[in-house]
C-alpha cells in the first residue's frame, strides 16, 4: 500500500509542472547608416537615421570630416 501511495503522489507532482515558452520582443526601431567620401575636397560625411515601427523618424545624426587623406581613413572614422 505504501508503494502505491508513493506512486500516486509522484503522478500528482508531475501534473503540477507546466511548460511555457518565452516570446521574443520584436525590434522597436530600424537604424540605417551610410557614408560617402569626396576625392576632390578630401571630405567625408556619415549619416545615421532611426525609424520606429510606425515609420516616424526617431534619430538623426550627421557628421562631416574634412582633410581626410584617403577613403580608408574615412572608413576608419566611421
Give Cβ neighbours of residue 43 (< 8 Å, ≥ 6 apart): 37, 64, 65, 66, 67, 68
In degrees and rounded to multiples of 5, residue 41 shows phi and psi of -105, 0
- Does pLDDT of 27 surpass 90? no
How confident is the model at residue 51, as a pLDDT?
A: 92
pLDDT-derived band at 13 (thresholds 50, 70, 90) equals: low
CA-to-CA distance for 64 and 69, rounded, in angstroms?
14
3-class SS of residue 5 = helix
How confident is the model at residue 43, as a pLDDT?
A: 86
CA-to-CA distance for 6 and 34, rounded, in angstroms?
67
Write down the mean pLDDT value for the chain: 75
CA-to-CA distance for 41 and 73, rounded, in angstroms?
14
Q: Using one digit for the tens of pLDDT, what is the confidence trace for 32-45? A: 999 888 888 888 88
- Does pLDDT of 50 surpass 90? yes
How confident is the model at residue 57, as a pLDDT?
A: 92
Amino acid at each position: 500500500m505504501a508503494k502505491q501511495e508513493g506512486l500516486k503522489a509522484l503522478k500528482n507532482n508531475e501534473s503540477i509542472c507546466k511548460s511555457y515558452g518565452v516570446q521574443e520582443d520584436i525590434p522597436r526601431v530600424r537604424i540605417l547608416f551610410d557614408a560617402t567620401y569626396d576625392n576632390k575636397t578630401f571630405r567625408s560625411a556619415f549619416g545615421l537615421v532611426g525609424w520606429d515601427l510606425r515609420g516616424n523618424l526617431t534619430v538623426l545624426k550627421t557628421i562631416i570630416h574634412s582633410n581626410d587623406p584617403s577613403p580608408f581613413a574615412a572608413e576608419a572614422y566611421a
